[in-house]
């Protein structure tokens, strides 16, 4: 089932016309209503009348996290405060967080894109969904909630955590859909086994997982472990929350709801567009949002894009899974390292778990060191020292081949690395940079 078949399967030419009309209106809207945008447009020497269609979008200046932070909390609003119905914040790590405001229509839009997402994952209106994303200022829980309401799903509003209770509710109420972070569903898998559940008897048949990067190999662990289809959902609070894009059951990229979130892929260094199929930074323009519309917002997430039609019938462009963030990247001895590269390697090695952490350090006047701590099977951990060394060596060689950076590897017992019910923490950077 396709929630908005009229829009989601529309020929690309018609989609382009809608995008063009919406962009023209948007440019005028923010120029008139938000002094920050007026200043930015004026500084870039562009006026709304220069925007005659979607192809003119590159004339508009980018918006960045810095604009959000500098104008915190209300500077980027394009509506009076009284029209804002709900506020969330994005989990910033430094300085001010970013605030996201929604008008009543923005909340309706959020519900609609999330309904499109759930449908795209394979949900049907008479399904029950267990929402185990955190509720509160984080957008995961409530975003999933609004989409479920829009679609008519039966909602189990669990929020994240209290794993034994999650498992009991799943057993008692038999939800077919589970929505949470991929690291949390893996954590629940461990707990389920420990508590004596047979994960293959779980009622969950479709998972809608996102809010953090996860690899194909991690998908396999989840799908094999639980016996379910694991789909990827992407979004960011600054844009709306979850619901920017979603995989269908073909799992060949995430369908971007591009009649409302216009995607571009750029080279993060030059700001120039990169061709389809090539990786770059995802930039999004919210074509219809009212409270805080964002123009050419630099997400810092790295993806590639394709416009090839998908077997599910949806025509909208698709992005690859997010392979990292321009700012999540750690630079070790001048080389760019993404935690996701390490995850791919580990998941290809028998006996290791997708639970790992990178400890980056630097002693005075010395080179950076990277220690990769990896959990291994109980059985392996108690094996002979020689076998452990062999495994360490294998992991080290494989990681070094992918990263081109020397690392040390430390095998640790199962459950040593801290588990997360939300986004997992993969890097501990002890360097004083």
Query: Is residue 211 a contact point for ligand DLL (CB under 6 A)?
Result: yes
Give the residue with the Cβ less far from ligand DLL, 51 or 211.
211
* Residues between 238 and 267 that touch ligand DLL (CB under 6 A): 241-242
Minimum gap (Å) between residue 212 Cβ and ligand DLL: 5
Strand order in the sheet with 128-131: 154-157, 128-131, 177-180, 206-210, 229-236, 241-247, 254-256, 318-319, 305-306
Give the residue with the Cβ less far from ligand DLL, 7 or 322.
322
Residue nearest ligand DLL (C-beta atom) = 210
Element (H, E) at 172: helix 163-173
Element (H, E) at 360: strand 352-362
36-44, 109-117, 150-158, 236-244 -> range binding ligand DLL (CB under 6 A): 236-244
Name every residue whose Cβ is closer than 8 Å to that of residue 152 and which is 6 or more positions away in sequence: 125, 126
String of contacts with ligand DLL for each residue 306-325, x by CB under 6 A: ----------------x--x
72-80, 196-204, 226-234, 343-351 -> range binding ligand DLL (CB under 6 A): 226-234
Among 63, 163, 285, 299, binds ligand DLL (CB under 6 A): 299
Q: Which of 236, 138, 147, 1 is nearest to 245 (CA)?
A: 236
Phi and psi at residue 39, to the nearest 5°? -60, -45
For residues 80 and 94, give the distance between their C-alpha atoms in angstroms, rounded to a whole number. 28
Asked if residues 324 and 340 have their Cβ atoms less than 8 Å apart, the reply is yes
String of contacts with ligand DLL for each residue 84-103, x by CB under 6 A: ------xx------------
Query: Is residue 343 a contact point for ligand DLL (CB under 6 A)?
Result: no
Minimum gap (Å) between residue 240 Cβ and ligand DLL: 9
For residues 164 and 228, give the distance between their C-alpha atoms in angstroms, rounded to a whole number. 20
Give the residue with the Cβ less far from ligand DLL, 157 or 351.
157
Element (H, E) at 128: strand 128-131
52-60, 103-111, 235-243, 360-368 -> range binding ligand DLL (CB under 6 A): 235-243
* Residues between 122 and 141 that touch ligand DLL (CB under 6 A): 133, 139-140
* Residues between 361 and 380 that touch ligand DLL (CB under 6 A): none
Query: Is residue 235 a contact point for ligand DLL (CB under 6 A)?
Result: yes
Minimum gap (Å) between residue 344 Cβ and ligand DLL: 14
* Residues between 138 and 167 that touch ligand DLL (CB under 6 A): 139-140
Query: Is residue 281 a contact point for ligand DLL (CB under 6 A)?
Result: no
Catalogue the E-assigned strands of 195-351.
206-210, 229-236, 241-247, 254-256, 261-266, 280-286, 297-303, 305-306, 318-319, 324-325, 330-332, 335-337
String of contacts with ligand DLL for each residue 388-427, x by CB under 6 A: ----------------------------------------
Minimum gap (Å) between residue 417 Cβ and ligand DLL: 20
Among 54, 114, 119, 236, binds ligand DLL (CB under 6 A): 236
Give the residue with the Cβ less far from ligand DLL, 202 or 208.
208
Apex CA 269: angle with CA 268 and CA 273, to 5°? Answer: 55
27-35, 164-172, 231-239, 411-419 -> range binding ligand DLL (CB under 6 A): 231-239
Give the residue with the Cβ less far from ligand DLL, 233 or 395.
233
Phi and psi at residue 275, to the nearest 5°? -65, 155
Among 106, 232, 259, 368, binds ligand DLL (CB under 6 A): 232
Among 37, 234, 262, 297, binds ligand DLL (CB under 6 A): 234
For residues 169 and 177, give the distance between their C-alpha atoms in angstroms, rounded to a whole number. 13
Contacts with ligand DLL: how many residues (CB under 6 A)?
21
Query: Long-range contact list for 407-412, CB < 8 A, 24+ apart?
Result: 407/370, 407/371, 407/372, 408/369, 408/370, 408/371, 408/372, 409/371, 409/372, 409/374, 410/371, 410/372, 410/373, 410/374, 411/374, 411/375, 411/376, 411/380, 411/381, 412/373, 412/374, 412/375, 412/376
Query: Is residue 215 a contact point for ligand DLL (CB under 6 A)?
Result: no
Phi and psi at residue 156, to the nearest 5°? -110, 95
| Alpha-carbon separation of residue 388 from 44, 294, 305, 381, 417 (angstroms) | 59, 51, 41, 7, 18
Residues in contact with ligand DLL by the rule CB under 6 A: 90-91, 133, 139-140, 210-213, 232-237, 241-242, 299, 301, 322, 325
């Amino acid at each position: 089932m396709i929630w908005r078949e009229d829009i989601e399967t529309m020929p690309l030419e018609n989609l382009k016309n809608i995008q063009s009309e919406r962009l023209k209106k948007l440019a005028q809207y923010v120029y008139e209503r938000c002094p920050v945008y007026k200043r930015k447009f004026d500084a870039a020497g562009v006026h709304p009348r220069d925007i005659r269609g979607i192809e003119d979008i590159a004339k508009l200046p980018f918006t960045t996290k810095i604009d959000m932070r500098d104008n915190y909390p209300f500077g980027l609003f394009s509506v009076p405060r009284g029209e804002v119905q709900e506020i969330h914040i994005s989990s910033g790590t430094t300085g001010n967080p970013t605030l996201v405001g929604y008008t009543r229509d923005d909340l309706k839009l959020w519900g609609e894109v999330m309904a499109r997402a759930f449908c795209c994952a394979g949900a049907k209106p008479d399904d029950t969904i267990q929402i185990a994303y955190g509720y509160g200022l984080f957008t995961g829980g409530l975003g999933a909630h609004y989409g479920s309401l829009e679609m008519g799903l039966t909602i189990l509003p669990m929020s994240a955590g209290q794993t034994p209770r999650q498992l009991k509710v799943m057993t008692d109420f038999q939800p077919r859909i589970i929505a949470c972070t991929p690291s949390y569903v893996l954590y629940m898998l461990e707990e389920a086994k420990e508590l004596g559940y047979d994960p293959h008897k779980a009622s969950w048949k479709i998972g809608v997982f996102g809010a953090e990067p996860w690899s194909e190999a991690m998908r396999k662990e989840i799908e094999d472990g639980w016996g379910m289809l694991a789909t990827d959902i992407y979004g960011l609070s600054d844009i709306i929350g979850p619901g920017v894009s979603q995989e269908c059951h073909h799992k060949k990229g995430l369908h971007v709801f591009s009649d409302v979130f216009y995607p571009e892929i750029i080279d993060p260094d030059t700001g120039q567009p990169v061709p389809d199929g090539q990786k770059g930074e995802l930039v999004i323009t919210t074509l219809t949002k009212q409270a805080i519309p964002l123009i050419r917002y630099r997400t810092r997430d790295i993806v590639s894009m394709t416009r090839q039609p998908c077997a599910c019938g949806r025509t909208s462009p698709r992005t690859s899974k997010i392979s990292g963030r321009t700012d999540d990247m750690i630079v070790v001895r001048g080389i760019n390292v993404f935690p996701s590269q390490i995850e791919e390697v580990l998941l290809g090695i028998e006996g290791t778990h997708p639970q790992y952490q990178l400890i980056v350090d630097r002693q005075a006047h010395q080179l950076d060191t990277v220690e990769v701590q990896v959990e291994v099977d109980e059985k392996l951990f108690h094996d002979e020292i020689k076998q452990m060394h062999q495994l360490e060596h294998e992991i080290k060689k494989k990681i070094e081949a992918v990263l081109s950076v020397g690392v040390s590897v430390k095998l640790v017992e199962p459950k040593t690395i801290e588990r997360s019910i939300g986004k997992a923490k993969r890097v501990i950077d002890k360097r004083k940079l």
